[in-house]
Structure 1
C-alpha cells in the first residue's frame, strides 16, 4: 500500500469583474511584519491563504468521508491504518491522532479568516474599493462560519475565537468551550452578514463564481446551519433557501451523472466547490478510493461502500445514482464483508473518476443545489407542509429516473421523514453528509445498532455498540493537555 500523507498546497487563482487578468499573488509569508497588510494585493493574498485551507486541511480533502461515510452505515474502512478501522467500529479514543490534526487544522483556517477580517479595514489603498472591501469581509465571514460549522458538528461546543491571538498569557490562550447554541449563533450571524456583503456572482466566469463565496453560498450554508442546530428553525431554513433560489446565479439541477463525470465542474448546480488543477496542485483523495483499473495500483483502498448502502440503492431501483457513485470490480485482496477470498467483485466509491497518481484535477463540491432541494423538502415537512415537501423530493427523484413518491412513502410526516432521509442517503453518498443527517434526524443510535453487517471471516454480525455519547468526537487529548480550560465530551 502506498502512503497518502501528501501535502498539497494550492493557491486559488482569484479574479473579479473589474480586472482583465488573474491576480499574481505572492504568499503573505513573503511579506515582512511591518508591511504585510498595507496594500490591496496583500490583503487579497491573505484571503487566498484562507481559501487554501480547503486543500491543505486533510479533513476537507478526504477525511470528511471517513468521519461521515465510514463512521456511519455507508462504508467500511479498508487499507491497513488501524485508526481508520477505529472510526468504522466507533472505537475512537481522545488520543486518536486524526482528532488533534483536524482540530488544529480547522482552527488554523479560522485564524486565517479572522486575520483577514481584522486587517481589511486598515488597508488604505486606492486600489481597494469599498465594494471589494465588503466582498472580502463577506468571503472571510463565510469561511469562518464554514469552519465553525464543521467543528460544532464534530465536537459540539468548542472555543469561540473571533480574533487573532497574539498573547501567550494563559488567560488569553486557555479558552473554554462555548455552548453548542452559542457556536451556532456565531455561525448563523456570520452568514447573515456575509449574505448581505457578497454578490450573487462576480462576473461571467463560472470557475470564479464557484470557487469563491457568494451570497448564494452564504444562504445555502445558513440554511444547513439553521436545520442542524439543536433546536432547528425550519422557517429560517426556508427563508435562506428562497433567497438562494432568487439569486442571479440561477442555480439549477443538472444531469446527475454529469455532476460526477469529471468534465462538468463549476456547473449550474454547484454553489461552491474546491478547485483542483492537477499535478502539483492536485487532489490526492481519489487515489485512496478508486479501483485498481482506474487508480493504476493494486492495494486495498480505505473506503468501501457497505452492503447496506448497496441494498438501499437496489431496493429503490436507483440505477442512475448507484452507477454514478459506485463501481464494482474484482480484486486480489480479501474483503471481510463482500468476499473473504481473492477474486471477489467488490464496490468502490466512484464519484471521483480520476486518480492521476495522487494529483487528480477532480473537484469537491462544498455545497450544491441538489442537497438544498432536499433540505427544502425537509423544512416543508417539519412545518407540516407535506405536499410542498413531496414536490421537492420528486424533483430529485425525477432527475434520478425514479417515479414519484408513493402514498405509502409520503402519507404522513413521519413516513415522509423516512423517505427524505433515504433520498438524501442515495443522493449525497460520498459527499460527507451521512453522519450529520442521521444526527439531525436523531437516528444515529438506532441506525447503527440496528445495522446488520456480517463479517464473513467469522459469520458474526458486527456490534457497533453505538451510544448517545458517541454522537460527538472526544476532544483531542493533546488539546486538553495544553488547555486546562477545556472539558472533555462524555466518553
Structure 2
C-alpha cells in the first residue's frame, strides 16, 4: 500500500512523480540511482525529498493511528477494545519492552528525522531552478518537522539520542549514540523552531489546502506553545507569548462557530486548523477511521479499538456537555460482548466518532496536528500559572460558549488550584480522542493519581480494575531491539 498527501500536489512545485515506501525503513535512495554527490541537486529533487519528510505522517503507523493508543487508550479516555494484546498493554499501563508498537513508533519517527536531516543539509546546496527564499523555506519546513518528531520522542521516552546530521555511514561511532538528556532534547527542539520561524511565512497564499498542509509561522508558534508548557520546567511566559502569536497571527485563525463541523469531513483545512495531516482517499487514504467507527459506518462487524471509557462519558454527562459528547461519541448496539459496557450481545456501546468516514480503509478524513482551541486553552493554562486567574477564566469561557455551556462557576475560579482543575477538565472535553490526554495528565502532575483513582468495573468478573500505576510508567520503555543493537542506550527505570 502506498499513501500520498496533498503535500505531494503542492509542495513539489514541479511535475515530478515521486513515491515513498509505506514501511518504516528509510526510502530516500538517490533519484535515478544518481551518486550521493549529485543527488538532490535540483529544485525538483529537493522538493521531492521534502515531500518525503511530510509523507512520514501518512506512512508511519504511529502518526496514522497509534498516537491515539499512546495518549487516549493509555489514559482514562478510552479502552483498548478489540483483541490486540499489545494495545491491551497500553490500556493496562503495563507496556512490555518488546511491544512492537513502541518499536514501530521509535523507528518511524527516527526515520522521519533522518529524512528531515537530509533536506536540511542538501537544500542550501541546490543551485538549479530555485530561489534563495524557497531554499530557506524548505530548510524551515524540515527544521519544524524535525522538531515535531523530537517533541514526540522526548515526551514518550525521555532523553533520546540526538541525530542532527544525515547518517550515511555504518560506523558505530556515528550510529550508536548514547541518550541525550531531556533538557538537551528540548533545547534542540527550541533551537530548530526558532530558526524555522526566521524562514517560514504566515501563509503560502490563499489556498488553505496548502496553508494547513505545510509548516508555517503559525505551526511553529503552536509547537513552541506546547513545548514550553510540556518541558519539565515550564516557561509559562513563553507559553503565553507563543499562544498569543498564534491567536493574533496574520493567518487569521478563528474558532469554527459549530464544533461538530471540525469532524464532519466537510470542513477540512478550516479556519480553526493550524496544521493537518492530509489525506485524499482511495490509494492516498487514511486507514485509521476504519479502526474505531461502528458497524453502521464502517461496513464491517468486528469489534473495534479505542472504545470511549465510562469515565469519559461520565465527564461529558456531568458537565451537561451535549454538543461535544455528540461530536466525539456515537452509541450503537452491537453483536459482541464488551467487558466494560455490556457483558451480553446486543448491548449499546460508545464508539469514537471524531473521524467519521471509514472509506473501506481509505478515508479522506484529515487528522489535526494543531488546532486553535488547543492553543487557546494552553493560553488559559499559562494565564492561570502566572496568577492571572480572572483572565484565564475569560479565555476558557470563550471555548465553553461555542458549545453552549455556561461560564465557569465561582467555585471553579476561586483559586489557582480550582482553576487548574477546571482547565484540565475543559481540555479533556474539548480534545477527547485527539491524542492530548496523556500529555495533559503528565504536565499537570496528576497522571498516577488519576489512573489509580479510576473505578472501572470488569463486567466479566464484577471486580474493579486495578491499574497499579507508578511514576516509572509515565515513560514508555526504550525498545529492547534498539538496546540490543546499540549497547550505549540505557533503559528507562522500571523496565
TM-score normalised according to structure 1 size: 0.96
1:432 & 1:8 partners in 2: Cα distance?
Answer: 22
Kindly state the Cα deviation for residue 7 of structure 1 after the two structures are TM-superposed. Answer: 5.9
Q: CA deviation at 1:419?
A: 0.4
Where 1:15 maps in the other structure, the secondary structure is: helix
* Preserved CA contact (<8 Å) 1:192 1:219: no
Q: Corresponding residue for 2:33?
A: 32
Distance change (3 Å), C-alpha of 1:7 and 1:476: farther
Which whole-Å CA distance do the structure 2 matches of 1:314 and 1:14 have between them? 43
CA distance in 1, matches of 2:4, 2:231: 32
Q: 2:211 aligns with which of 209, 216, 219?
A: 209
- Unmatched 5+ stretches in structure 1: 1-5
Q: What RMSD in Å do the two structures reach over aligned CA positions? A: 1.3
Moved more, 107-116 or 162-171: 162-171
TM-aligned CA deviation for residue 84 of structure 1: 0.7
User: Number of residues paired by the alignment?
Assistant: 482
Match of 2:442 in 1: 439
Q: How does 1:441-480 map to 2 (within 5 A)?
A: 441-480=444-483
Q: Distance in 1 between matches of 2:99 and 2:341?
A: 28
2:14, 2:76 → 1: CA distance? 44
| 1:239-273: CA deviation from partner (whole Å, max 9, x where unpaired) | 11122223221100002111111100100000000
TM-score, scaled relative to structure 2: 0.95
Q: Residue 297 and residue 187 in structure 1: after superposition, are their counterparts in 2 closer, same or farther (change >3 A)?
A: same
Which SS does the other structure have where 2:448 is aligned? helix
Match of residue 282 from structure 2:
279
Query: Does the CA contact (< 8 Å) of 1:73 and 1:451 recur in 2?
Result: yes
Write out per-residue CA displacement over residues 16-36 of structure 1, whole angstroms, 9 at most, x where no aligned residue: 7xx9x7754434644323342
What is aligned with 1:64?
Answer: 67
1:331 to 313, 329, 334: 334
Q: Which of the numbers 350, 363, 368 marks the counterpart of 2:366?
A: 363
- 1:248 pairs with one of 244, 247, 250: 250
* Equivalent residues of 2:383, 2:392 under 8 A apart: yes
Q: Deviation per CA, 1:198-241, whole angstroms, max 9, x where unpaired?
A: 00000000100000000000000011000000000010111111
Partner Cα separation in structure 2 for residue 111 and residue 276 of structure 1:
23
**1:426 Cα shift?**
0.4
Query: Secondary structure of 2:53's partner?
Result: helix
Contact 2:124 2:136 survives alignment (8 Å): no
Per-residue CA deviations over 1:358-380 (Å, capped at 9, x if unaligned) read: 00000000000010000000000
1:378 correspondence with 2:387:
no
> Which residue in the other structure is 2:104 paired with?
101
Contact 2:244 2:379 in 1 (8 A): no
Q: Is 1:117 the equivalent of 2:132?
A: no
Distance (Å, rounded) in 1 between the aligned partners of 2:6 and 2:14: 12
How far off its partner does 1:91 sit?
1.2
